[in-house]
């Protein structure tokens, strides 16, 4: 049986890396390079909640229209449109400005969806777009905190997606998003023997232990699957690792 204090992500191997899933009601950041699988993990997390855990979900996208998300999800076997029709999921295509003002207004479509569906899980795709709200890092940080605290107050387990901007991700994190969240998961490409592979690492989980290894992962029909830890390499997160033996 799953732990009621945890929200299983439904990603084989990732729940084990997180020692049983995300802490319910917490906010996690999933940061990754283009095409590493952020949106896929986001949809997988919402599908797990809505279809299997009786936890209705909200997907806020600034990037993809609902019909392209339905199509991409269906290729994995996830019928998101069907879940929306059953009021277990709501997909909202909007702008960062509308999202921030919506959370301030109890009558907005997003606030009503949270109430009417009893939303327990949310994905924002992606937080990087909030940078268009302001050039001031202090103000950006306050937008991040406003959003994250709003979701925490509703008891929603949030998976916030963000674009990865290179090896020094803390320095490039203008609004200090990685510090505002409870957990950070990183997706990267690594080049090994002239082949690009995908790597995943859990960098922090407030209030819980986590796997410290860097693991290989794949995307196949059915979503993301975590494989073995990389052995005998160092410098994996730079993208160009060296052999250690
Ligand atoms: N049905 C599928 N079967 C196998 N692999 C797939 C499938 N759908 C997508 N992929 C893989 O997943 C990748 C895209 O994943 P996804 O859209 O989740 O990435 P992302 O990190 O959100 O990208 P972006 O930064 O562009 O938003 C594709 O490049 C492809 O390699
Ligand atoms: Mg995406």
Is 217 within 8 Å of 226 (Cβ atoms)?
yes
How far is 57 from 99, CA to CA, in rounded Å? 16
Query: Residue 153 Cα, ligand 1 centroid: separation in angstroms?
Result: 32
pLDDT attached to residue 1: 60
Note the ligand closest to the C-alpha atom of 37. 1
pLDDT attached to residue 173: 87
| Residue closest by Cα to atom 28 of ligand 1 | 35
How far is 142 from 214, CA to CA, in rounded Å? 32
- Return the higher-pLDDT residue of 88 and 240: 88
pLDDT attached to residue 172: 75
pLDDT digits (tens, 9 = 90+) for 202-212: 999 999 999 99
Mutate to test the pocket of ligand 1, among 73, 219, 223 (most ligand atoms within 8 A of CB): 219
pLDDT digits (tens, 9 = 90+) for 32-89: 999 999 999 999 999 999 999 999 999 999 999 999 999 999 999 999 999 999 999 9
Query: Residue 244 Cα, ligand 2 centroid: separation in angstroms?
Result: 33
Query: Residue 211 Cα, ligand 2 centroid: separation in angstroms?
Result: 25
Instruction: With cut-offs at 50, 70 and 90, classify the pLDDT of residue 91.
Output: very high
pLDDT attached to residue 132: 96
Share of the chain above pLDDT 90, in %: 84
Query: Residue 40 Cα, ligand 1 centroid: separation in angstroms?
Result: 6
pLDDT attached to residue 238: 84
How far is 51 from 203, CA to CA, in rounded Å? 28
Mutate to test the pocket of ligand 1, among 40, 185, 195 (most ligand atoms within 8 A of CB): 40
Ligand 1 atom nearest residue 220's Cα = 4
Q: Is the pTM of this model over 0.75?
A: yes
pLDDT attached to residue 3: 87
How far is 187 from 214, CA to CA, in rounded Å? 10
pLDDT attached to residue 42: 98
């Amino acid at each position: 049986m799953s732990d009621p204090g945890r929200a299983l992500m439904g990603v084989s191997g990732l729940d084990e890396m997180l020692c049983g899933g995300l802490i319910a009601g917490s906010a996690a950041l999933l940061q990754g390079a283009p095409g590493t699988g952020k949106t896929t993990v986001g949809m997988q997390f919402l599908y797990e909640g809505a279809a299997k855990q009786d936890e209705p979900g909200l997907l806020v996208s600034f990037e993809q229209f609902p019909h392209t998300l339905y199509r991409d999800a269906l290729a994995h076997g996830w019928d998101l449109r069907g879940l929306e029709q059953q009021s277990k999921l709501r997909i909202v295509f909007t702008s960062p400005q509308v999202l921030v003002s919506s959370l301030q207004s109890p009558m907005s479509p997003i606030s009503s969806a949270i109430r009417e569906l009893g939303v327990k899980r949310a994905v924002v795709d992606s937080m990087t777009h909030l940078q268009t709200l302001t050039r001031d890092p202090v103000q950006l940080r306050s937008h991040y905190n406003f959003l994250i605290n709003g979701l925490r107050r509703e008891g929603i387990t949030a998976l916030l997606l963000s674009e990865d901007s290179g090896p020094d991700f803390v320095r490039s994190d203008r609004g200090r998003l990685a510090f505002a969240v409870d957990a950070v998961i990183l997706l990267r490409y690594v080049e090994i023997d002239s082949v690009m592979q995908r790597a995943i690492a859990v960098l922090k989980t407030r209030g819980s232990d986590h796997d410290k290894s860097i693991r290989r992962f794949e995307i196949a029909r059915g979503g993301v699957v975590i494989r073995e830890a990389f052995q005998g390499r160092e410098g994996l997160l730079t993208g160009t690792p060296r052999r250690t033996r």
